[in-house]
Structure 1
Amino acid sequence: MDNPKPTRAGVTGPRGVFTLTNSPLLALGILSISFLMSVSNAVSGTIPLMKRYFSNISEANVELLIVIPTGGVLLGTVISGFVSNLLGKKYTVIAGLALSMVFGVIPAFFYSYPAILVSRAMFGVGMGVFTPLSVSYITDLFPEDTRNRLLGWRNSVGAIGDSIMLFIAGFLISISWHTTYLVFLFLIVPIVLVSLFVPKRLDNVVVEGDREVEEVSTTKPSTNAGVIQLAVVFLLVNLFYAAISLKLASHIVETGIGDSATATRIFGFLVLCSIVSGVAFEKLAKWCGRYTVFIFDALTAVVMAAMPFTRSIPVLLVLVLVAGFCNGIINPALTARMVAYSPKGSMNLTTSIIIIGINIGSLAAPYFFQGLGRLIGNAAPGTMILWAGVFFLALALYDVFIVHKDGLPI
């Protein structure tokens, strides 16, 4: 069925007066929205201290304080489109960032369990509100080459943000677990950058080829089977890749090749991978073209399948770093496909659906691998990582089919 086409009008003034692709400050403002891409990393170190403080609360309920923002993200993502229609893109981003900042720091001042639980959930809602726009701004305002570059840089900015937040949190936690939550005051930085460098008038501007036009949609946002298919692929990629974060540390300890500190050091290098892959994405996407996702899915399959069989920490480190690098290429490559699948005027809705898929994949991962272990009668961490590699191979083969079926450019 044909998608209803929105009405378009040229941007006021002669072409070239305001060139989006040559505005580094605009790119800086938009990329700053992605500064906080992880909902839990910065404060995950507070879990042991919070367990002692809330000694009358069950361990599972204390851990819920760390993961509850993910549920909030799902809710925020659902309402993001409605809020954007009401306030416009710019003010929606600022509102979401402000919501996350305010509720993010509440545990530093209010110490009751219910207050912290609500604040953590609302922190996630704020993230869900602004995160879809961090993608749609890029896909709407920049032509393909610049878009691919910025989508790669978006991953790098998120990795850099995680590193900075972890560093600051490491200092604050030495004072108390309460003060650790002051780290979210850092969200004032993207609020200021978006306020200064992302003009409100770009709320309805899109780029078509090398032309900048104003888009006035006369239809409600819609979706299609292609978007749903892409969301499912995102879900599966995050589900299978989670085997590394969930199972690798246990595999290292159980096989006696290292301890938990060894695993922590290995994971620390993954941030560097995300930064490097984000910078390299544009060139790799040009070289690999429509087979970008297939190549890096297949490479991920190989290195994950090899992980359970190595007993060398240096070799294991290399394998994990290759997997992390591949993941840093796969995600922006899949994100770039949103332009091909999304109906006109529906990028915010498309991004929201994709983010919901990503979060469901992350939330379902522990239960998926638990069920898989029971199904095959072997729940060993190494076995789960091996099977994740097999599943990535299946994703790679599926991708060959889908790029030919849908004629995807990347």
Structure 2
Amino acid sequence: MRTGDKPVNTSSPLLMLGVLSISFLMSVSNAVSGTIPLMKQYFSNISEANVELLVVIPTGGVLLGTVVSGLISNKLGKKYTVLMGLIVSLIFGVIPAFFYSYPAIFLSRAMFGVGMGIFTPLSVSYITDIFPERIRNRLLGWRNSVGAIGDAIMLFIAGFLINVSWHATYLVFLFLIVPIVLVALFVPKRLDRVTVEEGKEVEEDSDIRPSTNGGVIQLAIVFLFVCLFYSSISLKLASHMVDSHIGSAADATRIFGFLVLCSIVSGIAFEQLAKWCGKATVFIFEMLTAVVLIAMPFANSIPVLLVLVLVAGFCNGIINPALTARMVAYSPKGSMNLTTSIILIGINIGSLVAPYFFQALGLILGNRDSGFMILCAGVCYILLAFYDVFIVRKDKLTI
């Protein structure tokens, strides 16, 4: 049903800023990962694995939050759901700065992840629901850039706070006040239950119950494997460099630091590259990623590895928004939030199982060398690329 003929100003910079600000925090652990050694000293009576669990447990919380996000959104609407998730993450994110017991920090970190899981699906559905395709692809690319910029800012702030104490590092999550204010001020509540078609608001049918289909599940599985194989870089490259006497773990860390810049550049370039490459976008950049991963084990210098990692990071920054854009084609009407939640579950499962996948693959193939695992991931990307050709033709996708 038409709610009015007044065009929606989808080109409003303030509306775009408010929607993109939801993606300021896309990483659940980067900002505070440097506290692990200090926490190990503080919790000397706690096992090392349990201390490290404090950094990764938010991922489990994200899965729970993602599941309930749609239910909350149906009751409160998009805007209040986003604000609720951001506020939950803010409150529980800073608790370790004031309460030092292990159970309190464990619970706060889990709930921090739940808050992230609540608002993150809406960072995508807002873009796909209220912006036309011309602007949508641009914002999906910018979303990655905004997340990278947010990570960079929080890492920068955390670098100062950790010099005060590991407790103080968790104050970095006060940064979430920024998206809370921007969403509250610049994202209208009236856009909760509308989609925009040809510049006009169309009210969502409240009788439509969110649903899913095989296309959405298929896309979630593709995201899972993309995340799984790309994880070979973060999981195996440092060990490969040390084992091959190319460089130290510190050298690998410095290389990874440049990936933030890659994400920013690829996010900005995505719209234009998607226009040039069209329906072959994912295939081209998955094949390029495959070439880079296969080449990594044979590189014998830090500069060469740096270039290869940067190319892989750039490609990943194109593949992700390209796959995200397909959610519009697959998602049933009125179900974008549920679709996004399913996709995020696939991504998080890919991250969680990656270490065990490569461990099992090494045992099966009889070679657990880190470089060989990266090469195997490259071969898997070739399979993904050709599968994408099949999917694009079968489903008549435009990107």
TM-score (norm 2): 0.99
Residue 27 of structure 1 is matched in structure 2 by: 16
Q: Which residue is 1:48 aligned to? A: 37
Q: Report the secondary structure of 2:6's partner residue.
A: coil
1:11 CA displacement: 2.5
The match for 2:202 is 213
Q: Give the partner amino acid of 2:132.
A: P
Q: Distance in 1 between matches of 2:322 and 2:136?
A: 11
Rounded to whole Å, the distance in 1 between the matches of 2:205 and 2:25 is 30
Is 1:110 the counterpart of 2:99 in the alignment?
A: yes
SS in 2 for 1:206: strand
Letter of the aligned partner of 2:3 in structure 1?
V
Q: Which runs of 5+ in 2 are unaligned?
A: none
Shift of 1:180: 0.2
Quote the residue 2:331 is aligned against. 342
What displacement does 1:156 show? 0.2
Post-superposition shift, 1:22? 1.8
Tell me the CA shift for residue 220 of structure 1: 1.1
Could you tell me how far 1:288 is from its partner in structure 2?
Answer: 0.3
* Alignment map for 1:180-329 (pairs within 5 Å): 180-329=169-318
- The secondary structure found in structure 2 opposite 1:175 is coil
Match of 2:3 among 11, 17, 20: 11
Q: After the TM superposition, which parts of structure 1 deviate over 4 Å for at least 4 consecutive aligned residues? A: none
Partner of 1:4: none
How far apart are the structure 2 equivalents of 1:391 and 1:181?
38
Please give the root-mean-square deviation of Cα atoms over the aligned residues, in Å: 0.7
Quote the offset at 1:307 in angstroms.
0.2
Per-residue CA deviations over 1:281-334 (Å, capped at 9, x if unaligned) read 000000000010000000000000000001021111111000000000000000
Aligned residues between the structures: 399
Structure 1 residue 209, shift from structure 2 partner: 3.5
Residue pairs, 1:135-154, within 5 angstroms: 135-154=124-143
The one of 147, 158, 165 equivalent to 1:169 is 158
Question: Aligned residue for 1:364?
Answer: 353
Q: Which secondary structure does the structure 2 equivalent of 1:34 belong to?
A: coil
Q: Decide which of 14, 27, 36 is 2:25's aligned counterpart.
A: 36
Shift of 1:216: 2.5
Shift of 1:210: 3.8
Of 41, 65, 77, the match for 1:76: 65
Q: Distance in 1 between matches of 2:380 and 2:198?
A: 37
Deviations along 1:63-115, one digit per CA (max 9) or x if unpaired, are 00000000000000000000001111000000000000000000000000000
Tell me the percent identity: 78
Q: What is aligned with 1:93?
A: 82
CA distance in 2, matches of 1:229, 1:207: 26
User: What secondary structure sits across from 2:203 in the alignment?
Assistant: strand
The separation in 1 between residues aligned to 2:201 and 2:237, in whole angstroms, is 47
SS in 1 for 2:192: helix
Q: Which runs of 5+ in 1 are unaligned?
A: 1-8
